[in-house]
Amino acid sequence: MAVNKIYKDSVAALADVLKDDMTIMSGGFGLCGIPDALIEAIRDSGVKGLTIISNNAGIDDAGLGLLLQTRQVRKMISSYVGENATFAKQFLAGELEIEFNPQGTLAERIRAGGAGIPAFFTATGAGTQIAEGKVQQEFDGRLYVQERGLRADLAIVHAWKADPEGNLVYRKTARNFNPIMATAGEITVAQVEHLVESGSIDPDHIVTAGIFVNRIVPLQTVNKRIEQRTVRPRA
Amino acid sequence: MPWTRDQMAARAAQELRDGFYCNLGIGIPTLVANHVPPGMSIQFQSENGMLGMGPFPFEGEEDADLINAGKQTVTELPTTSFFDSAASFAMIRGGHINISILGALQVAENGDLANWMIPGKMVKGMGGAMDLVAGVRRVVVLMEHTAGGKPKLLKRCTLPLTGAGVIDLVITELGVFEVAHKGRDGGLRLVDIAPGVTVEEIREKTEAPFTVAEGLRVGV
């Protein structure tokens, strides 16, 4: 294979990519399926003035919360940031900008961006303050809001399995925003739990085709945190 | 006696039909899953990317990769499927989900809903609420009738809207209201009343005018 997509760790995979004031998409929902090792490498690089596109903002001491603690983030584009007190403090102090998007609009903006679609119409948010300043148009008697496609300089994602080509498979609800973000980064870096041999993933089971993945970081250790541990008693 | 939270959830469960795909919001709506009538097949959707959501896991069987939209650990069922966020909201925005049951800060007689922000307070974001109310075919609100003694069923919402003209049914601890002409003129009609509660009492606690259905049902 002419191009080697495999990097030894997250620092090596991001070293020549990170720069101040760049836009980064980060997969995950809450702390589920987040590219934690890549986030730590971004923190350690000291790069700042970042615009981060991510459904959530992590919690104080995990996920994107790490980049908020170090004040590396200028702006968040998210749908819900309720679990992060650091976020609230910096926002109220005027140190952090936030653009709220309805979750489905955020997902579709990313999907559209990755597919080369500059804008689309949705009924979500019509007649609310989300629609203010945006083109609104009626189709078949219903009002729709125009939303723009989203792309980023860098997309960081987490996957369960990858092969050397960059074909990715995800696990359960850790899939979430990862596959769509993988399509919308100028450079996409995937951290993966298992790097497997070419041909060992059934092509019918591949969720993200390797064309969307530029770099692969096999994780040495996998750290997963549970945000809300809920259980039921055994009968 | 006004209904308890569990009785409100049980009333909401009466809106389910066999074969429905359903999305439940956080808070009282999560209780609806405990009241699915026996023999009825309902698939619960979780907008983070799961259809066919099972109950909470037994202790020791939690899986960090298996959570619901409230970030709680859940389990799979034999019907479960997983998908990405764009596909999840294609289900929601494309009208494929039959019913959404969610909480509210305010509902207006024209079906407007406010449930995502209070000006002057820290805004956490709307999550998937705006998509759910815009895209799901039938939207049911489960909420307390008043907040701090103030009515939540209003002529017009005073808080920023989550959706305009999107609500079909409102269930509170005092009664059940249908929203007529969803998205147009509106108009609330009281169809169920909690036992021992009077229409006069509800009028005192409701800013919006409403009519009373013929054959008003006294719920249990």
pLDDT of residue B123: 84
Instruction: Give the closest-approach CA distance of A235 to chain B in angstroms.
Output: 10
Contact B55 A232 (CB under 8 A): yes
Residue A84 pLDDT class (50, 70, 90 cuts): confident
Does B162 lie at the interface with A, CB-CB under 8 angstroms? yes
> DSSP 3-state assignment of A226?
coil
Nearest to A24 by CA among A203, A151, A140: A151
Crossing angle of helices A103-114 and B85-93, in 10° steps, is 120
Separation in Å, CA of A14 to nearest CA in chain B: 25
* Distance separating alpha carbons of residues B218 and A114, to the nearest angstrom: 54
Residue A48 has pLDDT above 70, yes or no: yes
This prediction's pTM:
0.96
A169 pLDDT band, cuts 50/70/90, is very high
Task: Return the HEC string of A140-200.
Answer: CCEEEEEEECCCEEEEEEEEEEECCCCCEECCHHHCCCHHHHHHCEEEEEEEEEEECCCCC
B200 is catalytic: no
How far from chain centre, in Å, is Cα A55? 7
Mean pLDDT calculated for residue range A148-169: 98
Q: Kindly state the tokens that stand for B77.
A: 């069922």
pLDDT, mean of residues A176-182: 98
CA–CA gap between residue B204 and residue B117 (Å, rounded): 26
**Cα A6 to Cα A24, A106, A156, B211, distances in angstroms:** 20, 30, 14, 67
**Burial class of residue B56 in the structure, from the number of CB atoms within 10 Å of its CB (0-12 exposed, 13-18 middle, 19+ buried):** middle
Residue B79 and residue B82: Cα distance in Å, rounded?
A: 10
Closest CA to B71 of A174, A37, A54: A174
Residues 6+ apart with CB under 8 A from A161: A168, A169, A192, A193, A194, A195, A196, A201
| Residues A215 and A190: beta-carbon distance below 8 Å | yes
ipTM, 2 dp:
0.96
**pLDDT, average across residues A196-210:** 98
Indicate whether A2 pLDDT > 80: no
B96 touches chain A (CB under 8 A): no
Give pLDDT, residue B186. 65
Mean pLDDT, range A49-57, rounded to an integer: 97
- pLDDT confidence tier of residue A86, bands split at 50, 70 and 90: confident
Q: Compute the count of residue pairs across chains A and B with CB atoms less than 8 Å apart.
A: 175
User: Which of B105, B131, B184 has the highest number of chain A CBs within 10 A, making it the mutation to test binding with A?
Assistant: B131
What is the residue type of B100? S
Q: Tokens 């530029």 label which residue? A: A214
B55/A100 Cβ within 8 A: no
Token pair for B98: 């039959």
- Burial of B114-151, coded b for 16+ CB within 10 Å and e otherwise, reads bbbbeeeeebbbbbbbbbbbbbbebbbbbbbbbeeeee
Q: A73-78 and A97-100 as β-strands: parallel, antiparallel, unpaired?
A: parallel
- Residue-level pLDDT, tens digit, chain B, 220 residues: 999 999 999 999 999 999 999 999 988 999 999 999 999 999 999 999 999 999 999 999 999 999 999 999 999 999 999 999 999 999 999 999 999 999 999 999 999 999 999 888 878 999 999 999 999 999 999 999 999 999 999 999 999 999 999 999 999 999 999 998 665 566 999 999 999 999 999 999 999 999 999 999 998 6
**Which candidate from A129, A171, A232 shows the least CB-CB separation from B56?**
A232
Q: How far apart are CA A6 and CA B118, in angstroms?
A: 47
The lowest-confidence range among A73-82, A99-108, B117-126 is B117-126
A71: left (phi over 0), alpha (psi -120 to 50) or beta: left
- Cβ neighbours of A31 in B, within 8 Å: 64, 71
DSSP string, chain B: -PPPHHHHHHHHHTT--TT-EEEE-SSGGGGGGGGPPTT---EEEETTTEEEE--PPBTT---TT-B-TTSBB--EEEEEEE--HHHHHHHHHTT---EEEE--SEEETTS-EE-S--TTS-----TTHHHHHHH-SEEEEE--SEETTEESEESS--SPPSBSS---EEE-SSEEEEESSTTTT--EEEEEE-TT--HHHHHHT-SS-EEEEEEEEE--
Burial class (CB in 10 A: 0-12, 13-18, 19+), A46: exposed
Q: For A222-234, b where at least 16 C-beta lie within 10 A, e where not — what string?
A: eeeebbeebeeee
Residue B11 bridge partners (DSSP): none
Assess if CATH 3.40.1080.10 describes domain B6-218. Answer: yes
User: What residue segments make up the domains of chain B, in order of their start?
Assistant: 6-218
Give the pLDDT confidence score for residue B27 in this predicted structure: 85
Collapsing DSSP to helix, strand or coil, A33 comes out as: coil
What is the bridge-based pairing of β-strands B138-142 and B150-151? unpaired
The pLDDT, as a whole number, for residue B183 is 54
- Percent share of chain A, pLDDT over 70: 99
Contact A224 B73 (CB under 8 A): no
